[in-house]
Chains A and B, each alone.
Chain A
């Protein structure tokens, strides 16, 4: 399986130059950095071999397209038209003629080389600062040929990190619920895809309703809600082996699961006799702990990245609001005080913000607030949208949006969207089917 072969050996060459170019990611970037992504050069022999194995005419060009597309999607970079490039890929990788690249207004240049070495794919790439006329970074790695798309993502992660000073989020995957059929009898399946929508795979057949899959932050486990045998319960699924099991032995519905930051516990709601409270189960010793004990609905729990706090959704004030508490359930404090109802709080992986869904005057918003509830910012407004999930670097949110049906009840759709923390760069994420409940994985390689 793909994930078994994480044979990516990163050999880091010394970095020679100081970065002179920098990308500002703290606000909506209205002038994205012009960057030239040269096709990675490839010799004829390697070309033939990869063509045989992967059915790709020119693997060097294909990988550079992945990088180009990733950079473009960030909204921070403006990849330049390859037709304007004056220098051949192989020559550019040895030593770019900086004047040529300057002429087409490129500020950064990515070059590289792809070779077929003992049945493996070897890739090297370099990042150049055109204005300074210097190499900023050079890396090489070797992996199995079938990992070729991941190579493109890893290159993007390295480039992004070098230019922005923050980790990337490209060598990641999204788990979500694929939806088909009429609104009144929706078929739902678990599905997984690369962050850019490729390598889509269905993980369940659609025989039972499945909801709210969430990635473990530490491994290839997923927790989700399944209506298997009409008993809504939280399940644990190993996506490498396909093995799954019910989490805990509860005499009623368990739902709204998430992992703790160390991946060792699952936190979720358990509903009984009309009351939902928050519980955890330790995946090693199976010990179940009750965290809240209140006659209101307590749900949608999410840990802070240090594991010390939990944010959750409760209607103990009369309506849905966002609360935080210590991880043992002590010191419950309401933090949402704006107009409207608040749901689905999710703690940012950076720790400083909580993303949420807000319902106010018939509109749904995705927003963020500080962990004390101050500084509320609404990023996007729509007829219906909810369930934000953070990119592993805490820079982008993915969520789903549903359309309003017409008078005959037609025209329903559910799609995944992403938006920057800044509120800029809102994008539709193309999926084979309708989609909801996205959850972003951690970086697969660090």
Chain B
């Protein structure tokens, strides 16, 4: 998407502004709202207009408004494509102990699963896999990188 190009171009400026506003927690700063990632850098698409992932705040498993919106799109797509099953891969950032993060990843993927189920997707079509902090998408050691890594990704299973 064009948006992601623009975002990449302004990346350095955003990093700078993040450093300057490192203490602001509930403010929208570029690609972060609070500390939830709102950008599209790592996002892939299951179909046109159907983002594959949702993001979480530190130590949280609650779905944001944006995440619920994404999941409703996924649910609509899954209803249309009833032959497709999915794996929800839950992830955590690197700022937590390995075992707790495995549990946290599992819980995040399950919040996404529960939401898909309330929109009519059968649990038989959804499996859950936690990677804890083992598979980051961004190898950075900074708040923005961590926000991209706190995620649940919906992956086609067949």
Enumerate chain A interface residues (CB-CB to B < 8 A).
182-186, 209, 211-212, 225, 230, 232, 252-253, 255-256, 269, 271, 273-276, 297, 299-300, 313, 315, 319-320, 343-344, 357, 359, 383-384, 386-387, 402, 404-405, 407-410, 412, 437
Rounded to whole angstroms, the CA-CA distance of A437 and B133 in the bound complex is 14
Rounded to whole angstroms, the CA-CA distance of A271 and B137 in the bound complex is 24
Please list 21 pairs of residues, one from A and one from B, whose beta carbons are closer than 8 Å in the complex, sorted by A's number: A183-B139, A184-B135, A184-B136, A184-B138, A185-B135, A211-B98, A230-B129, A232-B102, A232-B130, A253-B130, A271-B103, A271-B130, A275-B107, A276-B107, A299-B103, A313-B97, A320-B96, A384-B94, A384-B95, A387-B98, A409-B145
Chain A residue with minimal CB distance to B142? Answer: A407
Nearest CB on A from B58, distance (A): 11
Pairs A-B, 10 closest by C-beta atoms: A274-B110, A409-B139, A343-B97, A183-B139, A276-B103, A256-B99, A297-B103, A404-B141, A271-B106, A274-B107
Contact assessment for B94 and A402 in the assembled complex, using a CB-CB cutoff below 8 Å: yes
Contact assessment for A407 and B139 in the assembled complex, using a CB-CB cutoff below 8 Å: no
Q: Which of B95, B107, B139, B145 has the most chain A CB atoms inside 10 A of its CB?
A: B139
Q: Which of A273, A274, A412 has the most chain B CB atoms inside 10 A of its CB?
A: A274
Chain B residue with minimal CB distance to A185? Answer: B135
Interface residues on B, range: 20 to 34
A344 touches which of B61, B99, B135, B141 (Cβ 8 Å): B99
Rounded to whole angstroms, the CA-CA distance of A359 and B59 in the bound complex is 12
B 120-158 binary contact with A (CB < 8 Å = 1; else 0): 000000001111001111111110010000000000000
Q: Which of B103, B110, B135, B145 has the most chain A CB atoms inside 10 A of its CB?
A: B103
Q: Judge if B114 is at the interface, Cβ distance under 8 Å.
A: yes
Contact assessment for A386 and B106 in the assembled complex, using a CB-CB cutoff below 8 Å: no
Nearest CB on A from B150, distance (A): 15
CB within 8 Å of A: which of B83-112? 94-100, 102-104, 106-107, 109-111
B137 touches which of A184, A300, A319, A320 (Cβ 8 Å): A184
A252 proximity list for chain B (CB < 8 A): 106, 128
A255 proximity list for chain B (CB < 8 A): 99, 102-103
